[in-house]
Structure 1
């Protein structure tokens, strides 16, 4: 595999939010494989994996329920306005600033990827604090043990509210989480039966959380302790057993490998030869996610022409990259404007459209979103630091802009468009 400068640029875009020319040059001096290893290892060892600070005081679960129980419409309306009009925009700007400033952008990229994969939305979850709690769970576990990540996500309040696990009792098991765990999260359609859904749902009965600490709680009185048969395994299975059994199946390895490759390179199916090859060295029941990410980044397909044009940037990824390049910081005062922009672009973080997360590519492309992206870029250029380009001679600014943005392989038409702008006063 021969890596060119554009290969390094793409690596930093896909495993982060772009890089400066000096970062690209440093990476090229140590080689592509070493750069991948360094990027992944640095992210694994990063202090960014700790529980990150939350943006300001947040409404508690108990406060929300007390307000709802009061049935006072004025109070409910005021609290809803506070959550969606103040807390959510602040949380979004906080996360975008994390993407722009983090010394380990792979940590934030994996958090974004898993947010789309293990999708939950504030529209149902109700509280920004619960969404941030899940966000930090993804951040802490995004490159570690796959089984720990899946179990941790299953036990956060946001997921238990989103898919109704906390309502599931031995006498009335709720099938939402058991079904989506297999269909969307871990193994994919066609690899389980309705009987498996029923058994899994029984195993997750009694799951809940402490409303004050948000810690996972198992209510034994509401848990089904009967024998269950799930994917060929029989016994008094609980929820963690279900996750372990799913992840032990080869189909789970292929499904998860295909999902990560699709997020980092271009969309593929679980039965694609690439997914099968990647899955051959990835055991999700015992292994970590980091080596799989490294395998994807060092695969020949990752730096192929198909990968170069294989993904349209998600709006939050697009904005995070611009903010990073231009050293833009979004203040709390501008949080609502940022959320409005993201809404126009079709992606409000912490509020995906459904359990499937956000679709890829064509979903982001329309005349409206293209126009909005151009306007946003212009706003960011006005607010940001463009001295690496503006300090150059006019004759150097086209190549300087391409270098600054990490697009050394820019097309001739792009360069001609930039040259026309340079000539303007």
Structure 2
């Protein structure tokens, strides 16, 4: 639930119990995500109207200085974060995020921002489907074509950017192709076009397609037709089904969802499942979660900046209203993630947001997370259109409670697990309270010190790790 979600909250816990346990819940998330009504997550799309504008409209608004592309992309990040806070379909969200990072088109860019929201929607449609179909949809998508300079690539001057990254980052992996393979890959992909700076319409221009025999690894084709769409489809299907692609996808999945040094035996097993099931994603995830390696990995992954922000909102039960200004919580949330290191899909390079922990395991990140936890524990920022829980949620009105019991109750509420001895010791140090000390509503902890307790819980490995 924590590894394939964004933090346990009361609704998620209830969904798991109703499904019959974590395994049954996960299977339902994989095969019937629609069984979990998600209106609260779906409705937030309308909070940022620019997300549903057409590419040409977005571009005109930018050049007329009505609203810049970077502002629209900030809205995209906000929408993703708030959606993740509210969703009852976290597995679909998590896998959409995973593929958007692997098949990466950054949200920054004066040209491809026009198509970037549609690109994310396209990946969402395929996130629990088949990789070969997703690869075909993303490689020829206008956002990818623009980002990697294939939108204007022609037979007279084939641009190699997309052809190379398709091999290195999206399928086979570094070291598994030659420079001749890159040239042939680029030639196959000529003809796909986007009308830059004018209509932004996507099309296929037969006159721009390079013809003649092409060969990439074990794939070869006469490529005699001026319409290269069929050879593109055949080529992408070949890459999606290649054993090197299976190995690369299995390793990335195991790195993200198991540990940074995934056991080679697990990677091999996942790759076999991927190939045996015709690149279907669900059987691979099913095998991953059923593995002994996954079961033994609890608490060994670090939440990245966006995951930390989302999990903190969920843990505290912070309510978010439709934004009414820049300082609204629904708008400020993207700045919170950026302050910790990275807002959604803002990684500038083609290799995408890293799935290994070491990039986030730094003193600066730790201090940033502590600062964010502290400001939210106290309800100090953001303040517009957000609703923070009060100490009355935990401290009884007429009776006192031992501090150790209060820490345990807060831990069960925020983390859905009992407080450990280490967490109790940390809470005592953070607040100055003794384990057996009685806490009531006249106590200084209730009156002014409760943020220290909440922050101590949020700063703990039980929250930061998953």
TM range (shorter): 0.7 to 0.9
Tell whether the 8 Å contact from 1:93 to 1:331 is kept in structure 2 after alignment: no
Q: Match for residue 154 of structure 2?
A: 169
Q: Match for residue 288 of structure 1?
A: 280
Q: Match for residue 72 of structure 1?
A: none
Deviation at 1:418, TM superposition (A): 2.5
Larger radius of gyration: 2
Deviations 1:210-257 (A, max 9, x none): 679977522111011221112222214532222111122222111111
- Larger mean Cα displacement after TM superposition, 103-112 or 392-401: 392-401
Q: Match for residue 412 of structure 2?
A: 403
Q: Match for residue 358 of structure 2?
A: 362
Deviation at 1:66, TM superposition (A): 6.2
- Larger mean Cα displacement after TM superposition, 59-68 or 194-203: 59-68
Tell whether the 8 Å contact from 1:207 to 1:218 is kept in structure 2 after alignment: yes
Q: Counterpart of 1:221 in 2: which secondary structure?
A: helix
Q: Match for residue 198 of structure 1?
A: 183
Distance 1:16 1:388 in 2: 28
Higher RCO structure (Cα 8 Å, ≥6 apart): 1
Tell whether the 8 Å contact from 1:196 to 1:229 is kept in structure 2 after alignment: yes
5+ residue gaps, structure 1 = 1-11, 69-74
Tell whether the 8 Å contact from 1:42 to 1:104 is kept in structure 2 after alignment: no
- Larger mean Cα displacement after TM superposition, 122-131 or 135-144: 122-131
The answer to whether residue 389 in structure 2 is matched with residue 385 in structure 1 is yes
- Larger mean Cα displacement after TM superposition, 225-234 or 391-400: 391-400
Deviation at 1:18, TM superposition (A): 2.0
Deviations 1:102-150 (A, max 9, x none): 1211111112111211111233354644221111112111111111111
Deviation at 1:402, TM superposition (A): 1.9
Tell whether the 8 Å contact from 1:125 to 1:161 is kept in structure 2 after alignment: no
Q: Match for residue 218 of structure 2?
A: 232
Distance 1:227 1:242 in 2: 13
Distance 1:15 1:192 in 2: 33
- Larger mean Cα displacement after TM superposition, 108-117 or 372-381: 372-381
Task: List aligned pairs for 1:166-315, cutoff 5 A.
Answer: 166-209=151-194, 216-237=202-223, 238-268=231-261, 272-283=264-275, 286-304=278-296, 307-315=297-305
Distance 1:87 1:322 in 2: 25
Q: Cα gap change, 1:418/1:22 in structure 2, threshold over 3 Å: closer, same or farther? A: farther
Q: Cα gap change, 1:417/1:375 in structure 2, threshold over 3 Å: closer, same or farther? A: same
Q: How many residues align?
A: 402
Q: Counterpart of 1:217 in 2: which secondary structure?
A: strand
Q: Normalised by the size of structure 2, how large is the TM-score? A: 0.77
Tell whether the 8 Å contact from 2:9 to 2:314 is kept in structure 1 after alignment: no
Deviation at 1:403, TM superposition (A): 1.5
Q: Counterpart of 1:234 in 2: which secondary structure?
A: strand
The answer to whether residue 4 in structure 2 is matched with residue 15 in structure 1 is yes
Deviations 1:386-422 (A, max 9, x none): 6795255643321122222335265422222224556
Distance 1:157 1:288 in 2: 24
Deviation at 1:160, TM superposition (A): 1.0
Deviation at 1:276, TM superposition (A): 0.3
Q: Cα gap change, 1:415/1:25 in structure 2, threshold over 3 Å: closer, same or farther? A: farther
Q: Match for residue 40 of structure 1?
A: 30
More helix, by proportion: 1
Q: Counterpart of 2:342 in 1: which secondary structure?
A: coil
- Larger mean Cα displacement after TM superposition, 57-66 or 239-248: 57-66
Tell whether the 8 Å contact from 2:273 to 2:283 is kept in structure 1 after alignment: no
